[in-house]
Structure 1
Amino acid sequence: MNKLLLPLLLIFSTSLFAQEADSLFNKQNFNVDNIRVTKEDLAATIYLPDTTANAFYIFENGFSRIDDDSDFHLFTDYEAKIKILNKEGYDEASIVIPLYKGSSKSEKIHDLKAFTSYLDGSSIRSTALSQSKIFTEEDEKYDYIKFTFPDVQPGAVLVYSYTKETPYTFNFNTWWFQKEIPKAYSRYRTEIPANYDYNIIKRGELQLDQNDAEVKKKCFYAGQSQNAGDCIVTTYAMKEIPAFIEEEYLTSKYNYISRIEYELKQITMLDGYERKYTKEWKDVDKEFRTDKNIGRQLRKDRLVNELLPAEIASQDNNLDKAKAIYNFVRDHYKWNEEYGLFDKMNLKDLLEDHTGNVSSLNVLLHNFYNNEGYKVYPVISATRNQGFPKKIIPVLSDFNYLFVLLDNDGKEYMLDATDEFLEFGQLPFRALNQYGRKLDFDNESSWIDINPEGYSQIAYRDSLIVNKDGSSITKSKQNLVGYHASAARKKIERDTDKENLLKALNTVRDSYDLIDLTYEGEEDTDENLSLTYEIKNPSQKVGNKVYLNPFTFLFWKENPFKLEKRKYPIDFGYKDVYSSSILIKIPANLDIKEIPSQQVIGIPNNAAKIQFTAQKIDTENIFVNLRVVFSQAMYASEYYPYLKEFMDKLVTIQTQSIIVLQEKNI
């Protein structure tokens, strides 16, 4: 029995409780022990750990167990106490409880109760939710229990509780420590029979303040004998939990929201019989080989016989031919903007209609390469907004994408035929989700990292001619490489209006007049994309001085990082270089009085760097250079305060670097 107990223990370190005196919410004397509402709960007007909060959980508690008297259904008792601080927090008074309904069995809810408490002078008043105000809405998969608390007002405390019953024990019950508002305290207890073997996984970067497990003897009867089995009783708790707020440069929030997840591996009956629920990757590999949608389609090389033009098929198997095959598939077969890995996929339909989903197009690309004798593998993965696939246990619903890994003379290329604006060896931005599973049916599948090679770049080379009246003309030659080029090509394809394109492709200072815009390389993804602008800037003359900002084009107009703290990585998707070189021509009637100072700014480990210089070449010319390098595609959350300050300084350089020119005394 002890062997059955061990897998139920969480495999991560336990943090000790911080001392009570150091806890801000305890200084406010909230009741974080239960759902009883106190005057201290009601009197609070602010939540000190997050003074921007409009509402927060004072207390949240859950308890899940499998009931041996109810067909071994899973029951979860839930209770919560929410403080409303102001009118902006009223959204938290509307509650939605989803209940999954399968083909034969559905989840149920029992004993739903809710009430609103508020202060009436020095007395506590409460208004209970009427059962007639509880509604049910439904769709194909779920019933949604909905209600809104009565008498909501600033300062009120909302309390509700219920018991959920589910026949679906595979995923047990996910406990979400983090939500869109902060929590002072959240606790989750489970009582799991020892013969139920779950993988228990903690997600997110927040650490547990409590992680306890103990054995409860003779707690569970499986119905096969009079002998009762043991249970593992666990308690997980966190306090002062920050709200999860989505910010730019994030994949899926579900990768990082702090929670506890369960996946049932097997049940060992008390007579020793084992029922397995979770497969291993070797089992999945075998299924893929025979799967009618993936495995069989990958072997349909005969369908592409004689489809490849003779001028391509006749070439030697080198990189040039590989690029030609890629371009042929990309140009002749179009993506219908549908994902799906295990949905119906038929290469015959794709070849007839010339359109198909992601998997169809890339399986076709795979088969062309395979038929020509290249070493090529399918890779299953997930889009950025889908979340990371689980590595330990195969959960096939985690995957919604397939691309191709081509091995040419020992160098590997990740290929995707769904986007006509991509370069060879470039995956769509949506597919930059850190890793995928390479399927090798001759050997064994394995995980591979998805790391775009090299840097994507934006390079501005500007010539800025200042007129006597302080206005100026900027002639800008822009060179875009990598993901910046593919994104720009897509925008050019959608809208050829020059004014619209200027705004879509650049961040420009507020006042300007576009004179002209031309571009080249927009149709050839093997070439860099070049754009040429001519722009008139208004005069910044005040009295006898001209205040000139040399930057017509800004990399960022404002800092995208605004959170006080961010407990999840900053994921740009790829490494970046931005550069702006500006030669400024000064008219003869103006003297150069002031130029900005040089700045070199970096963050730890040289993970990002700014180099800014402004040089007076002679009485009529100034040279300004700004170079920004992000040498990592993803930064751990520990870098956030450094990146936030870094971006502040970058924005300041581009928006507040002023060259002062003064009229000469004649």
Structure 2
Amino acid sequence: MNKFLLPLLVTFSISIFAQEKEHQFNRQNFNIENTRVTKEELYANTYLPDTTANAFYIFENGFSEIEDGGDYHLFTNYEAKIKILNKEGYDEANIVIPLYKGGNGAEKIHDLKATTYYLEGSTIRSKVLSENKIFTEEGEKHDYIKFTFPDLKPGAVLVYSYKLETPYLFNFHTWWFQEDIPKVYSRYETEIPANYDYSIVKMGELELDQNDADIKKNCFYGGQTQNGGDCITTVYAMKEIPAFIEEDYLTSKYNYISRIEYELKQITMLDGYERKYTKEWKDVDREFRTDKNIGRQLKKDRLVKELLPAEIANQENNLDKAKAIYNFVREHYKWNGKYGIFNDMNLKDLLEDHTGNVSSVNVLLHNFYINEGYTAYPVISATRNAGFPKKIIPVLSDFNYLFVLLEADGKEYMLDATDEFVEFGQLPFRALNQYGRKLDFDNESSWVDIIPEDFSKIAYRDSLVVNEDGTSILKSIQSFGGYHASTARKKIKESSEDEKILKNLNNIRDSYELIHLEYENEKNTEKEPLVKYEIKNISQKINDRIYLNPFTFVFWKENPFKLEERKYPIDFGYKDVYSASILVETPENYEIVEIPEQQIFGLPNAAAKLQFITQKADEHHLYVRLRVIFSEPMYASGYYPYLKEFMDILVKIQNQSVIVLKEKKDNLAEN
């Protein structure tokens, strides 16, 4: 009989959990059926699932359909109900609606209405937005409809609605479930003719509470037959949607914010003819071969003949020569700070002006390698803040970056000649965006990972001599490797004074006095930058005791992870090692009476490790060692609570570790 008990208990538990979730969802009694405002909504003074919210959506609804029998424009009816809890939430009353304008015309807004609801005593009052308070701001590619709700006050509920008309069917209306404030309920319905084939993708980690699809008969007249066509109807909905809050170690929020996206693949006409809108990668490869901004520029290797100095050109084709070519391009042709791969890329202009966009400089580097007989490929990608390019469907506007994949001495190197601070084989941090598309015109293009294999590092070797008055003199040698090296080089160049170098390179825990600073290898990307300090610290002396924290420099002053929950990955960009090795020397007439407790802490699956060791060498010398390893460049959101605890421990170790020294009794007696 017992074998039937467990499934029964599980089923019962799931039922209780579902009832509890539904009970919690309804516990504030909001109207999530429509935009009608209730007294309960006006009386509400907090949002229980997120008590930090200053405003939130109570209800949001959208319905999109393609016009039947007319110009076949896409119409989207939108309506929303927003609760303002306090004055800090007033920004949500400023509404901006972008309208795209292009070669096929401009998007339009119809029937825009907005009303503010509030209480006077126990009576519901309302104020309707005047038409003369609605403004249009014109831009190059978009116009912006702007307005602010009237009669704002804490506790108000804002309701607005409009119909958006667009002739651009390729990008069907994107529905944003997640925004920067939470939502009680958001629902999106579509009615799409069955002969319109869209790729539909749900982005983000939040799960749909409703995901329904059905067929509606004879809903669409295409103008070519008396018989109506069928439609696919869909309904997507989410409840209790948390705000999307951007935190450190994130590429682009658009990689992870929860939404529904559409892209038109093809339309099958009612006579059977198929009109394709989405290309395949083989089609794109073919176009790239002849494209004036990529294909033709990549074939202009003749332009670089005779440009390479003889002392480089006459070398054997090995890794040393490859590095020499890379350094030559980096030194003589500068990046103008602009991105893009399809516009303003012209090698003739680059060779004349010695400056160009990121693609021009790196195509030139590619052509030097090809002209010298190396195997090299251009790789198109996107910067971290631009979002991930789509893999399944080629969307060329997703790409804004180009670098070179070089084969030399049996190994592949990813190269970008636009950054003077990175080492050979290291892309700038801005380019670490997971993957890119390698263009191989002789075969076919393919995806390549953009994930650094090597660890980056920061290492401190400190000698701390404590004086009888409680002060101490620190001599520190700091070395930087990988991405920390390129960051250090850049900060040293940008800092005009020693004091600025110290502050820009380090998190300094306490008050200090800089005595001396020197550095080396700040321009040589083949070697690790070294920075040497001599610093006077002020420690705390109370009566016969000295209280000393051995860490002058800390890796993090505070925990960067502050959210209760994070529903997107933690992306450092590269693997990391931090180490601090400190030798503490105490005064002869003091004894060490207390040292920090040793700690070892790790993440599941050995994804990260922290080791803190304190050890007496003799009566007046103490070794303090801290080593922190992040073994992954990116962690799934499930690691967030562990990383948060990990960082709490690390910050506490560096900020709260105390060594206690006590003056010896015989010395006190003499005094």
Question: In the alignment, is residue 426 of structure 1 matched against residue 426 of structure 2?
Answer: yes
1:539-592 deviation digits (Å, cap 9, x = unpaired): 311121111000000000011111111111111111100000000000112111
Question: In the alignment, is residue 262 of structure 1 matched against residue 262 of structure 2?
Answer: yes
Quote how far apart the aligned CAs of 1:410 are.
3.0
Question: In the alignment, is residue 138 of structure 1 matched against residue 138 of structure 2?
Answer: yes
2:73 corresponds to which residue?
Answer: 73
1:203-238 deviation digits (Å, cap 9, x = unpaired): 111111111000000000010111110000000001
Does structure 1 retain, via aligned residues, the 8 Å contact 2:344–2:357? no
Quote how far apart the aligned CAs of 1:16 are.
12
1:86 corresponds to which residue?
Answer: 86
After TM superposition, the structure 1 = structure 2 runs for residues 214-363 of structure 1, keeping only pairs within 5 Å, are: 214-363=214-363
1:584 corresponds to which residue?
Answer: 584
Does structure 2 retain, via aligned residues, the 8 Å contact 1:16–1:210? no
Quote how far apart the aligned CAs of 1:456 are.
0.4
Does structure 2 retain, via aligned residues, the 8 Å contact 1:62–1:78? yes
Does structure 1 retain, via aligned residues, the 8 Å contact 2:510–2:537? no
After TM superposition, the structure 1 = structure 2 runs for residues 515-554 of structure 1, keeping only pairs within 5 Å, are: 515-554=515-554
Q: Distance in 1 between matches of 2:306 and 2:105?
A: 52
Does structure 2 retain, via aligned residues, the 8 Å contact 1:461–1:476? yes
Quote how far apart the aligned CAs of 1:104 are.
4.8
SS in 1 for 2:345: coil
Does structure 1 retain, via aligned residues, the 8 Å contact 2:30–2:40? yes
Per the alignment, do residues 234 and 18 of structure 1 end up closer, same or farther by CA in structure 2, a change over 3 Å counting?
farther
Q: Distance in 2 between matches of 1:405 and 1:102?
A: 36
Equivalent residue letter for 1:294: I
Per the alignment, do residues 16 and 494 of structure 1 end up closer, same or farther by CA in structure 2, a change over 3 Å counting?
farther
2:18 corresponds to which residue?
Answer: 19
SS in 2 for 1:214: strand
2:3 corresponds to which residue?
Answer: none
Question: In the alignment, is residue 213 of structure 1 matched against residue 213 of structure 2?
Answer: yes
Does structure 2 retain, via aligned residues, the 8 Å contact 1:58–1:185? yes
Quote how far apart the aligned CAs of 1:317 are.
1.2
When the two structures are superposed, what TM-score results if normalisation uses the length of structure 2?
0.96
1:203 corresponds to which residue?
Answer: 203
Quote how far apart the aligned CAs of 1:293 are.
1.0
Does structure 2 retain, via aligned residues, the 8 Å contact 1:491–1:504? yes
Q: Distance in 1 between matches of 2:19 and 2:167?
A: 40
Does structure 1 retain, via aligned residues, the 8 Å contact 2:104–2:168? no
Per the alignment, do residues 84 and 20 of structure 1 end up closer, same or farther by CA in structure 2, a change over 3 Å counting?
farther
Q: Distance in 2 between matches of 1:385 and 1:398?
A: 11
Segment of structure 1 superposing worse, 402-411 or 431-440: 402-411
Segment of structure 1 superposing worse, 140-149 or 623-632: 140-149
Equivalent residue letter for 2:434: Q
Question: In the alignment, is residue 385 of structure 1 matched against residue 369 of structure 2?
Answer: no
1:449 corresponds to which residue?
Answer: 449
Q: Distance in 2 between matches of 1:154 and 1:70?
A: 45
Does structure 1 retain, via aligned residues, the 8 Å contact 2:69–2:222? no
1:63 corresponds to which residue?
Answer: 63
Does structure 1 retain, via aligned residues, the 8 Å contact 2:510–2:552? no
Equivalent residue letter for 1:566: R
2:128 corresponds to which residue?
Answer: 128
Equivalent residue letter for 1:508: I
Per the alignment, do residues 523 and 427 of structure 1 end up closer, same or farther by CA in structure 2, a change over 3 Å counting?
same
Question: In the alignment, is residue 43 of structure 1 matched against residue 29 of structure 2?
Answer: no
Q: Distance in 1 between matches of 2:510 and 2:653?
A: 16
Quote how far apart the aligned CAs of 1:18 are.
7.9
Segment of structure 1 superposing worse, 290-299 or 24-33: 24-33
Quote how far apart the aligned CAs of 1:105 are.
1.2
1:5 corresponds to which residue?
Answer: none
Quote how far apart the aligned CAs of 1:64 are.
0.1
Stretches of structure 2 lacking an aligned partner (at least 5 in a row): 1-13
After TM superposition, the structure 1 = structure 2 runs for residues 439-518 of structure 1, keeping only pairs within 5 Å, are: 439-518=439-518
1:599 corresponds to which residue?
Answer: 599
Equivalent residue letter for 2:453: E
Does structure 2 retain, via aligned residues, the 8 Å contact 1:17–1:210? no
Q: Distance in 2 between matches of 1:393 and 1:283?
A: 11
SS in 2 for 1:610: strand
Does structure 1 retain, via aligned residues, the 8 Å contact 2:73–2:169? yes
1:263-319 deviation digits (Å, cap 9, x = unpaired): 011111100111111110000000111111110111111111121111211111111
Segment of structure 1 superposing worse, 47-56 or 68-77: 68-77
Equivalent residue letter for 2:310: A
SS in 1 for 2:105: coil
Does structure 1 retain, via aligned residues, the 8 Å contact 2:104–2:167? no
Q: Distance in 2 between matches of 1:303 and 1:154?
A: 67
Stretches of structure 1 lacking an aligned partner (at least 5 in a row): 1-14
SS in 1 for 2:651: helix
Per the alignment, do residues 613 and 589 of structure 1 end up closer, same or farther by CA in structure 2, a change over 3 Å counting?
same
Quote how far apart the aligned CAs of 1:488 are.
0.8
Segment of structure 1 superposing worse, 400-409 or 173-182: 400-409
SS in 2 for 1:430: helix
Q: Distance in 1 between matches of 2:296 and 2:134?
A: 50
Q: Distance in 1 between matches of 2:149 and 2:44?
A: 19
Quote how far apart the aligned CAs of 1:121 are.
2.0
SS in 2 for 1:27: coil
2:32 corresponds to which residue?
Answer: 32
Q: Distance in 2 between matches of 1:545 and 1:70?
A: 88
SS in 1 for 2:262: strand
Q: Distance in 1 between matches of 2:101 and 2:296?
A: 33
Quote how far apart the aligned CAs of 1:496 are.
3.2
Quote how far apart the aligned CAs of 1:17 are.
13
1:400 corresponds to which residue?
Answer: 400
Does structure 2 retain, via aligned residues, the 8 Å contact 1:174–1:261? yes
2:371 corresponds to which residue?
Answer: 371
SS in 1 for 2:645: helix
Segment of structure 1 superposing worse, 604-613 or 117-126: 117-126
Question: In the alignment, is residue 117 of structure 1 matched against residue 117 of structure 2?
Answer: yes
